[in-house]
Chain A
Amino acid sequence: MTTLPPTMPGAVYDRGYRPYDGPRGGRRHATMALWRLSVRRALGLRRSWRQKYFPWSLLAITTVPAIVNVGVGYAIKDDPLELPEFEFFTYREYVGVSTALLLFVALTAPDIVCPDRAQRVLPLLFSRPLTGVDYVVAKVGAMATIVFGFGFLPHVVLFVGQMLVSDGALDYLTDNAEVLWQVPVSVAILALYYAAIGVALASLTDRRIVGGVAILGMALITSAVSGILVQASDGSTALAVVNVLALPLAVRDLVFLGHIGPESGLSGVDGGGVLAVGAYLVVLLSALALLFHRYREVDL
């Protein structure tokens, strides 16, 4: 006959402290970790539904035109009237859904940098193997990644959809092969530019709302000033370059068309393309220089 062991009293185990002897990364690992955490924060992941609502709604909104375009194309595909191939907008024009992306940057860029300064998290961050340059790279990189994703994914929907509803998918692919590099390049140009400007302006303040207003304010003011100057010059002037948020769209035109598009204020200006690229680079590098200066040193 087996006997049961005597009843043991409850025991509390102190697990104590366990040393870590696994792999450790250095600067690159820390930069990637900060990039990943910033992307997660901007997309509202591991946060309440209220923080998720805006970014995912925006992605849906930017994708709607592509879905409409594909849907209408499908609906009239077998039309006996043989309507011309439906094109709601071109791939080049679709890169210009920049208002939605700008709104996203204005709301998200302050959210990924302002709290670090306002809540004095920066000293803790810089007590890790990170430098100011790494911090800027991670934050701008995170912002650019999301803007790129939100700018590029609708194009994927548009391209795949158009290909599927076309008479010949392979023919559509070969006929539009050039957009396979034009779209990612121009969206990347736009994303990097908006991300750098957004994060740079947000870095100037501890308050998110001020950062957001600064970004939108700059967009509105430069666009209004540029509009006035262009109108006063009969629709075309080199001074249109003051519209800093339209500069990546001018560069986009160069990628797609090889010249500035007709809707730009720089259209018809001698050397407009060079002027646009030069101004784009100046603004981008100035934003990065401001950021490197802001985070060159942190007080404990």
Chain B
Amino acid sequence: MHPVPVPPLLRATAVTMDYGGGAVALAGLTVEVPPGSVGLVGANGAGKTTLFRLMLGLMQPSSGALEVTGRNVAADPVGIRSRLGYMPEHDCLPLDQTASDVVATFGELAGLPPRAARQRASDVLDLVGLDEARFRPVGGFSTGMRQRTKLAQALVADPQLVLLDEPTAGLDPVGREDMLELVGRLAGFGISIILATHLLDDVQRVCDHVVMIDRGRLVLAGPIDQLMQTTGVLRVEVGGRAGAVEVVAAALAERGLAARAVDAHSVEVDTREHGEIAFDIVRDTVADNGLRLYALTTRHRSLDDLFLQEAGR
């Protein structure tokens, strides 16, 4: 028996969105991402919200084709929304209603029968940690509680995919940690997410795939663990006497390793020409000079490095 092929979460083929007057939000975007947790990264105005609008079928692209969870958005722009959840960045909740009523309302609007919507609203509010506040009006909630309510309404109808637009915006450090922890749990429930943000740390924390766009164009897409491969740079922390860093840098240079002091205790060594033998050379060099070796670490590329490098900034 052949396994059932899983359709990609998003397949964009040469998607262009031209608002007219020279405002091109997306310029021939072609990308395919698998189900899971996907970070959509880009600066303000990069085209993230436009891509969400197109995915929700709220407008048609000027050209190109878009598939979401294997369904052509142009063929059924309204029906596609029944299996999507959306959490906007801005305030969007009816302030005079209780959290329970708000979430149940959006459950009903997503197609659930009233009784099921109310039951799931209770469950989902429990899940996001608002079980005791569910009967309080949203207008009296803190920013963190409102964000949780927004997440709850996005989850109430058990969507296949949730579009999260800057879910940590405006949160304090504790609230941000809590929100990221919640978002990180969604994959375990079988719910895919697309997390639009300009905070690369958030993506690195909870996503396994990243799509970077800049000025409507694709910069980079792929699995995060593959993109964040080692840079070939060793960071060496030494001590034992004054000027240890300079001594080590000079000694490594004599042995053919390019090295430079980065601060009073550390040297960065380019190992790309020598490979793993460079570790032994560094260790021996430090020992031969009677110094102490405190740390020897490989430096990984961060998503920030990648974005800046690929976007040419």
Q: Quick check: is A81 within 8 A (CB to CB) of the other chain?
A: no
A22 near B116 with CB under 8 A, answer yes
Q: Which of A17, A23, A121, A298 contacts B58 (CB 8 A)?
A: A298
Minimal beta-carbon separation of B166 from chain A (angstroms): 12
Question: B83-91, B263-271, B279-287, B293-301: which lies at the A interface?
Answer: B83-91
A127 near B86 with CB under 8 A, answer yes
Residue of A nearest to B80 (CB): A129
Q: CA of A36 to CA of B116 in the docked complex: distance in angstroms?
A: 16
Q: Quick check: is A294 within 8 A (CB to CB) of the other chain?
A: no
Question: A24-32, A178-186, A222-230: which lies at the B interface?
Answer: A24-32
Chain B residues with CB under 8 Å of A130's CB are: 78, 109
Chain A 250-292 against B: per-residue CB contact (8 Å), 1 yes, 0 no? Answer: 0000000000000000000000000000000000000000000
Residue of B nearest to A51 (CB): B96
Q: CA of A33 to CA of B82 in the docked complex: distance in angstroms?
A: 14
Question: B3-11, B22-30, B120-128: which lies at the A interface?
Answer: B120-128
- How many residues on chain B are close to A (CB under 8 Å)? 44
CB-based A-B contact count at 8 angstroms: 114
Q: Which of B95, B101, B111, B190 contacts A24 (CB 8 A)?
A: B111
Q: CA of A18 to CA of B79 in the docked complex: distance in angstroms?
A: 23
Q: Quick check: is B110 within 8 A (CB to CB) of the other chain?
A: yes
Q: Which of B90, B108, B123 contacts A120 (CB 8 A)?
A: B90
A297 near B110 with CB under 8 A, answer no
Q: Which of B56, B108, B111, B114 contacts A127 (CB 8 A)?
A: B56
Q: CA of A126 to CA of B53 in the docked complex: distance in angstroms?
A: 10
Chain A residues with CB under 8 Å of B81's CB are: 127-129
Q: CA of A19 to CA of B123 in the docked complex: distance in angstroms?
A: 11
Docked complex: B144-169 residues within 8 A CB-CB of A? 153, 155, 157-158, 165
Q: List 5 other contacts, CB 8 Å, given A126-B58, A127-B56.
A: A17-B185, A20-B120, A22-B112, A30-B109, A120-B91
Residues of A with Cβ closer than 8 Å to B?
A: 15-20, 22-27, 29-30, 33-34, 36-37, 46-47, 115-116, 119-121, 123-131, 297-298, 300
